[in-house]
């Protein structure tokens, strides 16, 4: 099967780079799977899991939190703000994040910020659900 180049870059270092067959990306507007020859799209990411398929049956799963994906005709670049291999993330870690976000929300007076944090909490809950299902 055809492949394309996939780069996964975190602020501190490049986390993944190589030829892949498919990548599943948690876009803010919805999950999407990118196959070779995808139309160019630029999308922001929500909290979730990126699934990289190197070839049928073998791949990697990476937990991301915010960032964006730049999908071009023959390569995909994901710039993640925070990322970790899926093995290092469990429901407990996300629970802590949710708690921190809730505390921050209750502490702030700024309505806009509250709204933003609320969105974040919803996303975190979703991510927890996804993780729990596996």
Partner 1 sequence: MPSLKDLRNRITSVKSTQKITKAMQMVAAAKLRRAQNAAESGRPYAEKMSATLGNLAANLVGGVGAPKLLSGTGDDKTHLLVVCTADRGLCGAFNSSIARLAARHARKLASEGKTVKIFTVGKKGYDMLRRQFRAEIVENIDIRGTKPVDYAFASEIADKILARFDAGEFDVATLFYSQFKSVISQVPTAQKLIPAELPSTDGKTTTGASADAAMEFEPSEEAILTTLLPKNLTVQIYKALLENAASEQGSRMSAMDSATRNAGEMIKKQTQIYNRTRQAMITKELIEIISGAEAL
Binding site for partner 1 (CB under 8 A): 7, 9-14, 27-29, 39-44, 68, 70-77, 79, 81
Dihedral sign for Cα 112, 62, 26, 92, please.
negative
Would you say 18 or 73 has its CB closer to partner 1? 73
Q: Minimum Å distance from CB 90 to partner 1?
A: 21
Q: How far is CA 1 from the centre of its chain?
A: 25
Would you say 113 or 132 has its CB closer to partner 1? 113
Q: Minimum Å distance from CB 134 to partner 1?
A: 25
Give Cβ neighbours of residue 120 (< 8 Å, ≥ 6 apart): 47, 101
Q: Minimum Å distance from CB 47 to partner 1?
A: 14
């Amino acid at each position: 099967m055809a492949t394309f180049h996939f780069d996964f870059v975190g602020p501190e270092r490049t986390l993944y780079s190589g030829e892949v067959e498919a990548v599943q990306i948690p876009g803010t507007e919805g999950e999407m799977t990118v196959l070779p020859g995808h139309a160019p799209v630029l999308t922001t990411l929500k909290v979730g899991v990126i699934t990289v398929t190197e070839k049928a049956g073998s791949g990697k799963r990476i937990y991301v939190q915010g960032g964006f994906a730049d999908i071009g005709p023959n390569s995909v670049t994901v710039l993640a703000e925070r990322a970790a291999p899926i093995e290092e993330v469990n429901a407990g870690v996300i629970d802590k994040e949710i708690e921190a976000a809730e505390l921050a929300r209750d502490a702030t007076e700024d309505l806009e910020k509250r709204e933003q944090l609320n969105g974040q909490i919803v996303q975190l809950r979703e991510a927890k659900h996804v993780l729990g299902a596996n």
